[in-house]
Every structure is written in C-alpha cells, then in structure tokens.
Amino acid sequence: MTERDMILYEPFTASMGRRFRVRRVIHTQKTAFQLVEVVDSPDFGVTLFLDRRFQTSEKDEFFYHESLVHPAMMLHPDPQRVLIIGGGDGGAMEEVLKYPSVRSVTMVELDGEVVAIAKAYLRSICGGAFEDPRVRLLIGDGRRFVEETAETFDVILLDLTDPMEPSKYVYTREFYALCAARLRPGGILALHNDSPFFFPEAYNVITKTLDAVFPYRRQYAAYIVGYMLDFAFSVCAMDDVLNVEETELARRAADRGIHDLMSYTPQLLEGFRTLPGYMQRILDQPCAVSTDAAPFVISTEPSDD
C-alpha cells in the first residue's frame, strides 16, 4: 500500500481478494513476526491488519469479540480465572474484564509489538484493558505456556489467527489436550473454528480435532462483518456443563451487570441446538484430525483451477 493510491489489497482465499480504500495510514511497522498496519477506513474506522489480513476494526469488533467471549463466560457459573492465548489487540480481554467475578486474566501474546501498537492506536477496541490490575500480560509462545505452567483456569479463550503455517501447532489434538489439562473442574475452552463456507476443510478438521479431545462441545455460527464471511465458534468442556437454559443465562447477565452488548444475547445460544444444514453437511464428511505429526494448514495461495 502506498500513500499515493491509499488502497490496501487483502488476499482472501486462493481465488479471491478484496481492496480497501484507506483515508490515512495511522501506523505501519514490521515486527519480528509480521507486518502490522493500522489504518483509517471509510467503512470500518480504525482498522488493524496483520500481514495484509483484516483482523479487527473499531466499528465491527463486537461481532467477533462478543461471539468468542460471552458464550463461554456466561455458560460458566463463576468465571474467576481466565487465560487468553493470542488476542494482542485487547478486544477479547476488554470483554472478559466486564465480569465482576473475574479475579485474574492471563494473556499470552507472541508479538509484544502488537500489544504496544494496540495501546497506542487501538484504544477504541481495547479501552483500558491492558492497565487493569487484574491483567497479567506475558509476551511469549502460548503453546509453550500451557506446556510448562501448572496453573489452571475457569475459561480459556483461544484468540488466534487462522491455521496457517505460523499457527499450525495451536490447532492440533496435542495442543487441545494441553488446554484441557489446564482447565479447572467445570472449565470451558472457547475458540473460533474458521469459516464453514469459505474454508470448509479447516472447519471440519478443527471441529473433529476438538471432538478427539473434549467429550462435550457446542457450536454456533456468527457473521463477522469485517471478515465478510461466516465464522463458527465452539465452546468445549471435559465436564457436562454446557447445557444452560436461556432463562438462567438471562439471569446471569443481569446479576453480572452485562448489558448493552451489540451482538451476544442469551437467545444466541439457542443456535447451539441446531446447526445450519450446510454446516452439518460439512461435518458429515470424514476427515483426519490435525496432529503435531501432521498439522493441518489452510492454503490461500492462488491456484490454477
């Protein structure tokens, strides 16, 4: 992208991309891990791109962050200790910190420069989350953290990039087993399962890999405006704790003072009960699970087809 043309091109799938007109470039930086760009978009306002891929924006961030965070937090009767792996923009953490029961949030983010950029330029997304005294920020590898820690958590949120080459080992059966071992009794893991429509293979593999570890899983879909695609989300547990009635979810929201959300409602979780037909058809197809020995990777390289 250049200041002269102010057009940012994003590769989308192996056969499709999209162009963003940009009013101004707020910040651009090449970190040790990725290209980070913060721009002002006419459609999305302040917007974060990593390696030219749309991550979040001030106008649409609630679609993703509320869908990732609130189902797990509401399904848990008393979430006190939360682990977030990834999520350097701070949007998920800002949602978690709305819960008065939360005593501590540990965030493990690989790229510390993303956190510094979020603090400086993404306040409309993260607010003052990084300054909250309940937060412990660790810069490092999230998988290594769960391999080495003896700590356990009520809720674990995986706020990760798609299963491409750099992140392939945080989508494997072995990694999910590590996360399961770090859950306290009744604990819940939440994560996105990619786009069933645009990346059906990834969606199928992630779902079946979760099922190879967790005996209890519920799944739902949300449309993420900035991504311009459907996204599946799952909540997973080792214990039978995921069936909570809508009336109880509404009561918990009121008791916890969680209101004025833009996307999540207690009725959202009714979507757990019946998946759309196209999603179920994907899951009806057999596939191998992702393992450390053979990790699944999405390919977005242009094809000749």
Which residues form the catalytic set?
Answer: 159
Q: Which residues pair with 234 in a beta bridge?
A: 191, 219
**156 close to 189: Cβ distance less than 8 angstroms:** yes
Q: Distance between the two ends of the chain, CA-based, in angstroms?
A: 28
Euclidean distance between CA atoms 37 and 121, whole angstroms: 10
How many CA atoms, within 13 angstroms, populate the side-chain half-sphere of residue 84?
30
Euclidean distance between CA atoms 280 and 222, whole angstroms: 15
Q: In Å, what is the CA distance from 35 to each residue of 57, 226, 293? A: 17, 19, 29
Query: How many other CB atoms are found less than 10 A from the CB of residue 142?
Result: 26
78-113: b (≥16 Cβ within 10 Å) or e:
ebebbbbbbbbbbbbbbbbbbbebbeebbbbbbbbb
